[in-house]
Amino acid sequence: MQFGRPKSKHQPWWMRLAAGVAASGLLAVTAQAQALGAEPPRAEPPRAELSPAAFMDQGGRMAAPTGFVDYCQRTTECVAAPSVQAATVVELDHAKRKLLDAINRGVNSEIVATSDQVVYGVAEVWADPLAPTSSLGQAVSTKAARGFARGDCEDFALAKRDRLLKAGWPPEAMFLAVAYHPELGLHAVLLVRTSRGDLVLDSRSPYVDVWSATPYVWVERQVNATSVAWVRPYRDAIPEQALAQLRTDEATAGTTPG
């Protein structure tokens, strides 16, 4: 049994007109795509939203590590920049992901982890031990040429930064950072800002992971790869445990991540 008005065998003129317009538009798009040798356009699947925790924050200004300050005085690679600056976000496709993995694993395999005290006879030196030339003279580049480059954590990070810069990665989309681990102490790494979050290239790991998934408490970070400015990685205060360790190391060796 039907309720209401019975269905008409013929559609009203306005429904037939609308259907005709829609069909003609679809046919036109399909014909154009076929003429170009491509399939008709399809709707893109929705992309999962990233958590705000995927990106490291820019908090208040902090003093740069003393070894980094010395590095900037020896080179022309550091420039003045605002303490807060919008970062460039690199779209992370398959090729760029492979590049990050290759550079992280490659540098980790080419440098032997060694303290600055052993290599240079001083507590803290920041340098790229794989660079063909060095502000420290021939000592670093000669070791790299002979295949036994040595350095500690910040040297790994600088080498990865230099390789990414040569590969065309924008300096505004990467930065150095210092973190703390209860068993390791202070530790320097390189981070890159991508569409999948801030990813860590770590001398202690062959894997490139998002910063919030690492076992570290983050102490401070560079604004970008060529900036002299360093900031807190949190809007609120640094965790007290990390701050206490930072003060201890500053008193003994001038902020010596390893």
pLDDT of residue 257: 66
User: DSSP 3-state assignment of 238?
Assistant: coil
Sorted by where each starts, the structural domains of the chain and their CATH numbers stand as 53-253 (3.10.620)
Token digits of residue 196: 């999948």
Burial class (CB within 10 angstroms; exposed 0-12, middle 13-18, buried 19+) of 218: buried
Please give the chain's pLDDT, 258 residues, in tens. 333 334 444 555 444 544 443 444 433 434 443 444 444 443 333 445 666 689 998 888 899 999 999 999 988 888 876 555 567 899 999 999 999 999 999 999 999 999 989 888 888 999 999 887 655 544 454 454 555 689 999 999 999 999 999 999 999 999 999 999 988 899 999 999 999 999 999 999 999 999 999 999 999 999 999 899 999 998 765 555 555 655 565 555 444 567
d(CA 201, CA 107) in angstroms, rounded, equals 10
pLDDT of residue 238: 58
pLDDT of residue 248: 61
Phi, psi of 75 (to 5 degrees): -125, 175
Token digits of residue 38: 């491509």
- Give the DSSP per-residue string, 116-182: HHHHHSSS-----TT-SS-TT-HHHHHHHHTT-EEE-HHHHHHHHHHHHHHTT--GGGEEEEEEEET
d(CA 64, CA 77) in angstroms, rounded, equals 15
Torsion, Cα 59 63 69 72, to 10 degrees, reads 30
